[in-house]
């Protein structure tokens, strides 16, 4: 199946869950990343049970500080 990840189309095995995708995509500091699938937030406890489907749009929102100092 094809997923759109941060605007880029990528191919994955069917039945992939959000927690597996985080592993495959080697997301940095995953415990502090917010995931959205098709514009809806998926909260951490649901990563294991959230199965992704062909055409899903997945976004990783990263904490970003920086600025003053």
Partner 1 sequence: MAMTNEQMERYSRHILLKQIGVKGQKKISNGSVLIIGAGGLGAPAALYLAAAGVGRIGIADADTVDLSNLQRQVIHTTVDIGKPKVESAAETMRAINSDVEVVPIHDFVNSSNVMDLIADYDFIIDGTDNFPAKFLVNDACVLGGKPFSHAGILRFDGQLMTYVPGEGPCYRCLFKEPPPANAVPTCSQAGVIGAMGGVIGSLQAMEAIKYLTGVGDLLTGRLLTYNALSMKFHEIKVKHDPDCAVDGDHPTIDHPIDYEQAVCDLASHKG
- Which residues make up the interface to partner 1 (CB under 8 A)? 6-7, 29, 31-32, 34, 36, 39-41, 59, 61-69
- Which lies closer to partner 1 via its Cβ, residue 16 or residue 37? 37
Q: Residue 14 CB, nearest distance to partner 1 (Å)?
A: 25
For partner 1, the closer of residues 13 and 69 by Cβ is 69
Q: Which pairing describes strands 8-11 and 2-5: parallel, antiparallel, or unpaired?
A: antiparallel
Nearer to partner 1, 13 or 67 (CB): 67
- Buried b / exposed e over 17-54, threshold 16 CB at 10 Å, is ebbbbbeebeeeebeeeebebeeeebeeeebeebebee
């Amino acid at each position: 199946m094809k997923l759109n990840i941060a605007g880029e189309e990528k191919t994955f095995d069917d039945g992939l869950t959000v927690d597996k995708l985080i592993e495959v995509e080697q997301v940095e500091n995953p415990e502090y990343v917010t995931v959205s699938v098709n514009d809806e937030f998926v909260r951490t406890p649901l990563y294991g049970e959230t199965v992704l489907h062909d055409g899903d749009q997945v976004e990783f929102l990263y904490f970003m500080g920086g600025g003053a100092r």
